[in-house]
Amino acid sequence: MLTFDDGPDPRYTPHILDTLAEYDVRAMFFVCGEMAVDNQDLLARMADEGHVVGNHTWSHPLLPRLSRSRIRSEMERTCDVIEDAYGERPAWFRAPYGAWNRAAFQLGAELGMDPLAWSVDTLDWTTPGTRRIVGAVEHGAAPGVVVLSHDAGGDRSQSVRALRDYLPYLIDSGYHITVPRRQYV
């Protein structure tokens, strides 16, 4: 599974969406409300193209440092923006920095969201170079892996170029790239 955090960003997200469309691949985008509110057209495009949009809070704070009410506000505001632009409330939540706490899990559940972490971190936010990002994905690839990348939060041109390199490799290697679907009983 390919996931992209911190967006959407009009400079990088469209290029990521274009590459995914070229290979007919779906991904997950964990969006920040403060980015999504000004780029609702990109959330609508994600919906139209079959991608899953998750909640990554409003302003990307370190959740363990916040009160329960502030965490709820960060999540709820983002849920509202996602619903307005994407057409449905998010079913998934990812804590900024992977910094989970009991309140984040509880509040996410109260808002109808399941948590999702990652198993391969590309460290693309450190701008390590396209080859390093590609290497992290290609060496970390395995059944059930969740890849963390970013489509905002700084210069993500390396992330865009890396996706163009590693996506055909993953497909040619026989990986089925998917997005989660909730199972309702």
Give the residue numbers annotated as catalytic, written as ranges.
5, 150
Q: Give CA–CA dist 38/128, Å, rounded.
A: 28
Kindly state the helix (H) or strand (E) to which residue 107 belongs, with its residue range. helix 102-110
Q: Give CA–CA dist 134/31, Å, rounded.
A: 23
Q: Give CA–CA dist 85/105, Å, rounded.
A: 25
DSSP tag of 60 = -
Query: CB count, 10 Å around CB of 97?
Result: 12
Distances (CA, A) of 60 to 32, 52, 82: 7, 19, 15
Q: Give CA–CA dist 185/174, Å, rounded.
A: 31
